Every structure is written in structure tokens, then in C-alpha cells.
Structure 1
Amino acid sequence: MTAVLDTPVLDTAESVDTAAITALAAVVGAEQTVPTAGGAQVRYANFDYAASAPALTDVAAAFTEALGQYASVHRGAGHLSQVTTARYEQARETVRRFVGGRADDTVVFTRNTTDALNLAAHAVPGDVVVLDIEHHANLLPWQRTGRARVVTAQPTFADTLAALDAELSRKPAALLAITAASNVTGEVLPLRTLTALAHRHGARILIDGAQLVAHRPVSLASYGIDYLVFSGHKVYAPFGAGVLIGRSDWLDDAAPYLAGGGATAHVDLDAGTDWHTGAARHEAGSPNVLGAVAIAAAADTIKGLGFELIGYHERDLLTRLDRGLAALEAVTPLQIFEDVDDRVGIAGFAVRGHTAREVAEYLSAHHGIGVRDGKFCAHPLLTRLGYPEGAVRVSFGLGTSSDDIDRLLVALTELTERVG
């Protein structure tokens, strides 16, 4: 049985011209070369997008333009201060539209997804239900509050959904916090189904969209999502900014995330401090204006390309990769749910006879290929999947071509057949 999918699955019967797509969505450093053990210089093949995607050239250009006019934000009367403030606030609106935010949602710029989730944990007024498959960013902040209730994922998503239902029925919770796509396997969870489940039990839902928003369209308004978090460095804007967007009441009721200038409406040593509401309440200090501008530029480029084209591109590459890995007897793919077959461009696997670090080092040293090895900040999940010492993860995106996939498969074949 396949789980009901409500995040659009984009596919095509014909092969996609990946070279044309990578030209349309050029990334900085696409032609970067690296040395190999034999002394040759080869073009670097980046298969670590799930950790940090390279900057799109459009994003780098927008960043550079904003840098040339950068000045203080919000409180400066000078012309460039006004320009910078307008850019920053426009970036907020661009992000809101990109993820289908409601008109009254608060958009807070943070450092990254981890920072956004720590802010959310600071603001949520009650228990939080999470799965054990989560990235540490969506697990540890809730555990630190002492109000986390961790549900063990089952072999099927259908049974996992039932386990979540049972936990929310057992005792009310303020929030269900859950990943949209696994950073270990790329499996995509049905957001509308999860949102309906949370709301049926009177809970809100927070979606960790770090591994989804660059790959699939998301709409808070149409999906009914209460809160969404993601990082710029996952959406081709690696300039140190992230996003928390969602309903304003909990954020306005919470104490300011940081105490400092910008968050205050009035400070009196005797009468005390009046704090702003809205995004300013949690953005004390000088914000990362250029990081926010970069995220907005990435959002515009991604929307300009269109998620249909992005989906075709990634599905073509993922099909090519999966077929190649399946042909290697020594490779065992990682999978969380037996009934979920929808994935973004991520594949986790183990190679028999080799540690994950050995695989990663071989690919780098002999083929100029970069993959991730380890436990991917998801230690409980890797342990449950049977790989407590870690595994290998391949992840890709707009800068990846079919030639890159073939090069990776050739290298893995050599490793398993000639080295192993």
C-alpha cells in the first residue's frame, strides 16, 4: 500500500534535458575543480545539497547589488538606510508569498532552521508531539523545554499516522512538529493529512520544511499549516539566514527571543520596557539583511523556473540514481516507511564491506565527488535503521546533471567491484 500523497509528485514519461536546466539555474562554483589522488584536476561533483546547497548565480548577483547599497536598517534617515530597510521588508513579503503565507502571518528572519525551531520552542505554550525520525533541530529544542512527547515511527506511514493519532488522543498537545521531507532518505510526508490530524485534536502543526521548500510548492494558507521553518542555505542562498513564518498570537505572547535594540518600543529604567509585537519582537539587534535579501532572491528564481520543471529535473535524476544503486549488490538503500515512495533528491545508503567514511573518502580522493557520511544529525533514526555508526547520503539539486549521476555510479561500481 502506498501512502496518500498530498504534496504534488511531478513526473514525466520523457527524459529531461538536465544540462539545459542546470544552465537555466546556474550555481556559483559549477566549474570548480579539485585535485584527485592521481594528481589530476577534475570538476567537483557536489552531492551534498541536503547539507548546504550552492548559491544560485541570480542570488549571488542580488546579494552583491544589495551589498553595494547596504546601510543601517529600520532606524536610519539616510537614503541608503531607507533603501536597505525597504529591501529587508520586501524580502519578508517575498518569502510570505513564496510559501503561501496568510496576510496576518508573522515572518521572522532567523539564522537558520535550528534557530527558527529554538525560537518556536521558546514561544509554544504547551506540549509538543514529535517523531523519532526528526533532524536534531526538530527534536532537541522541544526536549529541552521538558514538554516533548516523542512518538516512535512505525514501518509504515499508515501505522505511524495511527500512532500519532493515539498519542494526540491520549493527552492534548499544543503542537505537532514534524518534518516535511527526511534529511536522511528524502521521503516526503503528506502535509495535508498531518495538518488535518493535528487540527482534529485541537493542536497546531509546525512543519520543518528545510528539505522541501526548494523542491516542492508549499502553501501555509491552502494546506492549513500553522508554522513553517526553513534555511536559506537549503534554498541556494547560503548567507546565514533562515525563516520562521506562522500565526502571530503565540509569537506576540512570548517573551522576546533576544533582549536588545530593535525589539523595544520604549525603555524606562523605572517603568520597565515595552516590547514590539510582530517580527521585530524577536529580531533584536541588527538583522542579517543581506541573508534575507538572498533568500528572497532564491525564492524569486525558484518561482521563475517553476516547480513543475524542478520536479521533472529531480525525478529524472532520482530515477537514474535509484536504478544505478539497485544494480549494485553491495549497496543497501535506507528507507523509513514501506508505503512511501515519494522523495526529493536525497538517497541514503550503506555499502557492504566499507564504512561510510571510507566510501566518502574514496569518492572524494579518487573521483572528486562530495557526499555526506555520518548520522546526519538524526542519530535516533540511524540507530533504528540499523546503522548506529552512520551511512552515506547523496543529495542533489538544480546544479546537478545526469552526467554527475553517471559519474557517481561509475565511482561506486569501481569501489564495490575493484576495491571491495
Structure 2
Amino acid sequence: MTSTATATAVRAGAMPLAELDDAGLEVPVLGGRRVRHVNLDVAASAPAFSAVSAHVARVLPYYASVHRGTGYASQAATALVDDARVAVARHVGARLDDAVVFTRNTTDALNLLAGAVPGETVVLDIEHHANLLPWLRRGRRVVVAESTIAATLDALAAELRRRPAALVSVTGASNVTGEVLPVATIAKLAHEHGARLAVDAAQLLPHRRIDLAASGVDYLAFSGHKAYAPYGAGALVGRADWLDAAPAHLAGGGAVESVRIDGAEWKSGPERHEAGTPNVLGIAALARALAELERLGEPARREHEEALTARLHAGLARVTGVRVIRGFDDADDRLAIATIELERGSVGLVAAALAAEHGISVRAGRFCAHPFFDRVATRANGLRASLGAGSTADDVDRFVEALGRLLAHGPGHEYDRTSAGWCPRIDDRPRPSFA
């Protein structure tokens, strides 16, 4: 295929935009067959870019303790972490005095920030639990979103006028609907009322380039496992003053200048919150994944994703008995995420049958966003399909066709509802040798 033809195929979504580790993965289905796996659960955890896993394999022999070792491998590992900190800051447009603190994931990053906020935090009810629960320790106020983004911003402004807050914290994009919020506009609104803005970018960062300095966002939290680097690292990036004044997120070695029997002198900067041996390989993987996103380029990523998003929603519109959940009537930008509810039947059973009979992975439930889901949905649970850089038009078509068949004719096998969810009554699928 010529480069022009390849580019056209990628734009149309016929080919994956990038090579991922799960490319070509075949999984068993009931009845003894094997089929190509269709991963439509990328919003939960994305497979690694092949470039990321290759990078991890390349640096693994140099794994060693960092910042205190004198050996060659230790110096190499230290360089990996230090260079990754610079790479993360550059990728998100951090200001010169912003801190980059490596964490386990977005939840860890937001809990870290929650321990540093000198006052109340205001959030929207559309948030993932990771951006709802941590703020309880210092005081949290919740603004119930309106039917439009514009009206929601008016409600947020009214709440900040009613009583000032130290921080506003919002998702960059809903993990339920994929709808993208105007974070630069919200940053301006927060600053006008004397508050800072934190953004939960777990969903947004793998799909959109974020620039802290240009947007005015004060803090950004995100996870490697949603950004094609599933090696257990995430980051909190943002203004250092609150972080330097806060108690250490973890108390332990590396976070202190000196220790006495009766106390300790804590470091400032990222090290204050990074006690213990860092996840060197996870941090290196995260930096390499961000570099790969940059190499792909945001225009190509958006064109690929928009083609698949349009195909997904057009396909769902042809399926009888489903409703696509939306949060805002005026949202004009959304990620490749669609959550549906069924007019009848169990989404859990449908999700189990999609996997067991068709080799298609989706997610069923309320997606750790219970207040939002309960407000916008009419059923107890939904079914979410989410796509990414490794997705193709064929993935979408297989999902839509299988979903329509299941809703029209039911599963081809019998299932039991168990404490672990819906499971095939007779499951003849062999497990991998390592399971």
C-alpha cells in the first residue's frame, strides 16, 4: 500500500493509527473457536504502545536504585527518571516553576493534591469517583450539572460567588459520555473567583494535547495505564507552592533532608511526595508513551478518532432498543466513547455474551461515576464501548453487528448470574498458561 493510500485508510479508520501490544491477539470463544480480539474497553485501561514495551525491554537491564547509587546502572536509572520528569512537563506545557510529581495513577495524584488544598474544593456531579471522593477531607461542594455546558458554567460561577473556594476540580472529558469540557474557559472562571483549577485528565490526555500554561489550568492529574503505558505510573503536574506547604503524601526515605528521633526535616519539590523507591520502569514507560503520542500528532489522532466516533454513533443509531447516554445538549466535542442503556434486558448479560461468543471486550456498570450516571440514565446500569489509537472501523462494525444480533435473538449459550457477574453456564474457553 502506498503512503497516500495508507494515510487515507488511517483517516477512514480502516487501519489502527499505531501499533499496540494487543495487535493480532486472538481469544477463544464458546464452542472452541478463536477470533481476533476487539478491545472496546480502552477507557478503562489501554494496552501498551509497542514502542513503549520495546523501550521498557531495552532499559530493563539498567534497572537500579536511583539518586543515591554510584554504579553505572544506578546513574542510568536516575537519568531515566530525571529525563522523564522533563518530558512530562514539556508534553503538558508546564510552567517553569510547576512541579511534576510521579504517582501510581490519577486517583493517587488527586488524593495527593487533596492533602495540599488550603480550603474547600468545588466539583461537578459528572466526575469519576477519583475526582469526587478525595476532596471530602478538606471540604467539598458539588454543583449539579445542567443540561448544557453553558448553563453548567453559569451554575458553577453562581456557586463560587455564593461562597469562595480554594479549588475547582473537573474532569477534562467524561468517562461515561466522552464529552469534553472547555477547561480553558473553566480555568478563567475559577481564577475570576479566586480559585485554582485542577483537571482530571485520565480520559482527556490520551486523546487531546493539553497545555497548562496556555489554558491556565493549575493542576493536571493523569494515568499511564490509560495513555498506552500500563506500567503503574501516573503524574500530578502543577503549581508547587501548595505541594511544598503540604504534609508529605508518603512518609519515608527520599522525602526527607534529615531524620531525628523526635522528627524530620522534609524536602521541598517533587521528592517531598515521592518517598520510597520509584517505579522507574513505569515512569520511563509513561514518558515514552507521551513521546509516541507526540510522534503520531494530534491532527492525525483526532481525524482517526472522529471517523471512528461517527461510525460508532451511526451504527448504534441503527440498533433497535438502545439509547446513547448524553450529559450535555450543547457538547460539540467528544472522545470515542459511547455508553448505552437498553430498553429491556441486562447490559451485564450482553457484555458477557459479547466477550464469550464474539471476542469483544466492553464494560458494563456505572463506570465509577455513580451520581452522574444515576442522574442521566433511566436504567440501573449501562454498557460502554470506548476506542483508541489501535481501534479500526472493523472493530466498530463487529461490535454493532454483534450487539444488534444479541438484542434481536439473545445469546447463543446459557448464562448464570453469579457473584462475579454473568458467566457462561458451560465455559469451554481455555485460559492462558499464566492464568
Common fold: TM-score over 0.5: yes
Offset, 1:14? 9.8
CA displacement, residues 302-343 of structure 1 (integer Å, 9 cap, x when unaligned) = 000101100000000000001010111211000001111310
Between the aligned partners of 2:12 and 2:71, the Cα distance in structure 1 is: 48
Asked whether the equivalents of residues 18 and 401 of structure 1 are also in contact (C-alpha less than 8 Å), the reply is yes
Between the aligned partners of 2:245 and 2:138, the Cα distance in structure 1 is: 20
Between the aligned partners of 1:131 and 1:281, the Cα distance in structure 2 is: 30
Asked whether the equivalents of residues 373 and 393 of structure 1 are also in contact (C-alpha less than 8 Å), the reply is yes
Equivalent position to 1:252, from 197, 221, 244: 244
Establish whether residue 411 from structure 1 lines up as the match of residue 402 from structure 2: yes
Asked whether the equivalents of residues 121 and 138 of structure 2 are also in contact (C-alpha less than 8 Å), the reply is no
Worse-superposed segment, 159-168 or 384-393: 384-393
Aligned positions of 1:396-407 closer than 5 A? 396-407=387-398
Offset, 1:258? 0.9
Indicate the SS of the match to 2:331: coil
Aligned positions of 1:331-410 closer than 5 A? 331-387=322-378, 389-410=380-401
Offset, 1:38? 2.8
Equivalent position to 1:59, from 23, 43, 52: 52
Asked whether the equivalents of residues 227 and 245 of structure 1 are also in contact (C-alpha less than 8 Å), the reply is yes
Question: Which residue identity is paired with 1:98?
Answer: H
Offset, 1:296? 0.2
Equivalent position to 1:108, from 64, 84, 101: 101
- What is the aligned partner in structure 1 of residue 153 from structure 2? 161
Aligned positions of 1:82-121 closer than 5 A? 82-121=75-114
Question: Which residue identity is paired with 1:293?
Answer: A
- What is the aligned partner in structure 2 of residue 42 from structure 1? 35
Between the aligned partners of 1:308 and 1:189, the Cα distance in structure 2 is: 19
Establish whether residue 16 from structure 1 lines up as the match of residue 11 from structure 2: yes
Summarize the Cα distance change of 1:14–1:160 in structure 2 as closer, same or farther, 3 Å threshold.
farther
Asked whether the equivalents of residues 15 and 316 of structure 1 are also in contact (C-alpha less than 8 Å), the reply is no
Between the aligned partners of 2:377 and 2:317, the Cα distance in structure 1 is: 19
Worse-superposed segment, 49-58 or 406-415: 406-415
Indicate the SS of the match to 1:233: coil
- What is the aligned partner in structure 1 of residue 130 from structure 2? 137
Task: Give structure 1 stretches of 5+ with no counterpart.
Answer: 1-11
Question: Which residue identity is paired with 1:245?
Answer: V
Aligned positions of 1:185-224 closer than 5 A? 185-224=177-216
- What is the aligned partner in structure 2 of residue 226 from structure 1? 218
- What is the aligned partner in structure 1 of residue 235 from structure 2? 243
CA displacement, residues 26-81 of structure 1 (integer Å, 9 cap, x when unaligned) = 00021111111232100110000000000000000111112111111111011110
Indicate the SS of the match to 2:191: helix
Offset, 1:268? 2.1
**Structure-2-length-normalised TM-score:** 0.91
Task: Give structure 2 stretches of 5+ with no counterpart.
Answer: 1-6, 412-435
Between the aligned partners of 1:119 and 1:181, the Cα distance in structure 2 is: 21
What's the Cα RMSD here? 1.5
CA displacement, residues 166-213 of structure 1 (integer Å, 9 cap, x when unaligned) = 000001100000000000010000111101100000100000000011
Summarize the Cα distance change of 1:338–1:150 in structure 2 as closer, same or farther, 3 Å threshold.
same
- What is the aligned partner in structure 2 of residue 170 from structure 1? 162
Question: Which residue identity is paired with 2:267?
Answer: H
Establish whether residue 323 from structure 1 lines up as the match of residue 311 from structure 2: no
**Structure-1-length-normalised TM-score:** 0.94
Question: Which residue identity is paired with 2:34?
Answer: Q
Between the aligned partners of 1:206 and 1:78, the Cα distance in structure 2 is: 39
Summarize the Cα distance change of 1:315–1:173 in structure 2 as closer, same or farther, 3 Å threshold.
same
Indicate the SS of the match to 1:303: helix
- What is the aligned partner in structure 2 of residue 27 from structure 1? 20
Indicate the SS of the match to 1:106: strand
Worse-superposed segment, 387-396 or 376-385: 387-396
Between the aligned partners of 2:220 and 2:360, the Cα distance in structure 1 is: 32
- What is the aligned partner in structure 2 of residue 294 from structure 1? 285
Question: Which residue identity is paired with 2:320?
Answer: E
Worse-superposed segment, 173-182 or 341-350: 341-350
**Percentage identity across paired residues of the two chains:** 52
